[in-house]
Amino acid sequence: MKHIVVAGIGTEIGKTFISAILVEALEADYWKPVQAGNLDCTDTDFIKQHISNQKTVCHPEGYRLLAPMSPHAAAKAEGICIDIEKLNIPLTSNYLIIELAGGIMVPLNNKHLNIDLISKWQLPLILVSENYLGSINHTLLSVELLKNKKINIMGIIFNGDSNPATEELIINYTGLPCLAKICKQKMVGKETVSQLAHELKNVINQFVR
């Protein structure tokens, strides 16, 4: 389990923040296959700016797209078609955190979604959930689809304001372990990521060693 996919139940739920914590905890490499928008401050840039270890290598994105849109639409705007066969995992002997763009059903082109990329790689996956109205539905649907595709789900990380009733229902219904509950941070810097990585390290090591 040296390579781990980080996927979310939707977009803007803190996958990059969680990825930074995982990267720091494992001193892992990082790769974002598709970056859509914010090319002046990418998710890869965020990782570089928020980790403290000297071992991590951030690998170049497979596709860098200008528009902050769904990957398939951002690519189409530039006359590009994302080819999932060309999204090959970077060669590394280190742990590798792979952060997807958006949720697992986000389209990459007219035929393929993120779930197809996950199925192609057959790598273990950590699902990031966030508590909001509708998040139970989104989380359970994501888990059901991943299980149907026989994807190895390592567990769920809840990010943001805690809702114990929601989290308990999701964990009990899915039977998946809760790897962490990361509360909403007032400020995020290297110190925050380092502290949370230290707290998460022992839990993650149970799954990857």
Model pTM above 0.75? yes
Q: What is the CATH number of the domain that holds 200?
A: 3.40.50.300
- Host domain of residue 14: 3-208
Q: How many CA atoms lie within 13 A of 102 on its CB side?
A: 17
Catalytic residue, candidates 2, 15, 32, 76: 32
DSSP state of 79: T
Q: Is-contact 185 192, C-beta < 8 A?
A: yes
Tokens of 56: 């991590």
Cα(208)–Cα(12) distance, rounded to whole angstroms? 27
Q: Is-contact 28 95, C-beta < 8 A?
A: yes
Residue found under tokens 């697992």: 104
Residue found under tokens 């993120």: 114
Active site residue 32: yes
pLDDT tens, residue order, the chain (209 aa): 689 999 999 988 999 999 999 999 999 999 999 999 989 999 999 999 999 999 999 999 999 999 999 999 999 999 999 999 999 999 999 999 999 998 999 999 999 999 999 999 999 999 999 999 999 999 999 999 999 999 999 999 999 999 999 999 999 999 999 999 998 887 888 999 999 999 888 888 877 76
The total of structural domains in the chain comes to: 1
